[in-house]
Chains A and B, each alone.
Chain A
Amino acid sequence: MAEEFNTDSMLDMFLYESGQLLEKLEGIILEKQDADCFDDTDINEIFRVMHTIKGSSGVLMYENITKVTHKLEDVFYYLRESHPDDVPHMELVEKVLAVSDFVTGELDKLKSGDTPDGDEKQLVEELDEFLSRLKGEIKKQGIEMPQANRHVEPTQFYITPVAGDDSHFYRISIHYRSDTQMSNLRAYSATYALKEVAEDLLYTPDDILSNEASADVIVAEGFHMLLQTKSSKEEVISLIDSSEAEEINFDELTKEEYGSALGEFGREEAAPAAAPAAAAKDEAKETKPDKPKPGDYVVKTKEAGKGKTLAKNQPKQQSIISVNVEKMDSLMDLIGELVIAEAVVLQNPDLKVPGLELSNFQKASGQLSKITTELQEVIMSMRMMPLTNVFQKMRRIVFDVSRKLGKDIELEVIGENTEVDKNIIEHITDPLMHLVRNSVDHGIEENAEDRTAVGKPAKGKITLEAKNEGGKVYISVKDDGKGLNKDKLYQKALEKGVIENKPMSEFTDKEIFRFITLPGFSTKEEVTEYSGRGVGMDVVVKNIQTISGRLDITSVEFEGSEMTLVIPLTLAIINGIVVQVGNSPFVIETASIKEFVRVGEDSLIHEPSGEEYIVLRGECYPFIRLNEKYDLPDSVDKIEEGIIVVLEHEGSQVCVLIDKLLQEQEIVVKPIPSYVRKVKGLSGCTQLGDGSIALILDIAGLLMHDGERR
Chain B
Amino acid sequence: MAEELLKKEETDETEELLEEDTQKGMFMTFQTGKEFFGISISYVNEIIAMQPIAAIPEVDDYIKGLINLRGKIIPVIDVRVRFKLEPCEYTDRTCIIVIDVKSTMIGLIVERLADVDTIAEDSIVPPPSLGRKEHEHNKYVYGLARTGDTVTLLLDPEKLIKQDDIAAAMEDIRKEEQS
Contact = CB atoms under 8 A, between A and B. Distances in A.
Interface of A: 3, 6-7, 9-10, 305-307, 330, 333-334, 336-337, 542, 584-585, 629-632, 670, 672-680, 682, 685, 687, 691-695
Which size bracket describes the interface of B in this complex?
35 or more
A7 B9 CA distance: 7
B79 interface: no
Contacts of A692: 52, 54, 68
A674 B71 CA distance: 16
Interface in B48-94: 52, 54-59, 63, 65-68, 70-75
Contacts of A585: 54
Contacts of B66: 672-673, 676, 685, 693
B173 interface: yes
B73 A685 contact: yes
17 contacts: A6-B9, A7-B5, A9-B5, A10-B1, A333-B71, A333-B72, A336-B71, A584-B54, A673-B75, A675-B75, A675-B165, A676-B59, A677-B165, A678-B172, A679-B57, A693-B54, A693-B68
A674 B170 contact: yes
Nearest to B77: A675
A673 to B, nearest CB: 5
Nearest to B58: A679
A305 B2 CA distance: 8
A6 B5 contact: yes
A599 B169 CA distance: 40
Nearest to A1: B103
B150 interface: no
B54 A10 contact: no
A305 B70 contact: no
Nearest to A633: B55
Interface string B161-174: 10001101110110
Contact of A629 (B9, B57, B67, B74): B57
Q: For the complex, would chain B's binding face be called helix, strand, loop or mixed by DSSP majority?
A: mixed
B57 A630 contact: yes
B172 A693 contact: no
B22 interface: no
Contacts of A679: 56-59
Nearest to A585: B54
Nearest to B106: A675
B1 A693 contact: no
Contact of B56 (A3, A687, A695): A695
A687 B68 CA distance: 8
A498 to B, nearest CB: 20
B172 A695 contact: no
Given A306-B1, A631-B58, 14 more contacts: A6-B12, A7-B9, A307-B1, A334-B71, A337-B70, A585-B54, A674-B172, A675-B166, A676-B63, A677-B172, A685-B54, A687-B73, A691-B68, A693-B65
A685 B67 CA distance: 11
Contacts of A676: 56, 59, 63, 66, 75, 169
Contact of B73 (A3, A10, A693): A693
B8 interface: yes
Contacts of B173: 674
Contacts of B67: 693
A585 B54 CA distance: 9
A306 B67 CA distance: 44
B73 to A, nearest CB: 5
Query: Which of A631, A675, A677 has most B Cβ within 10 Å?
Result: A675
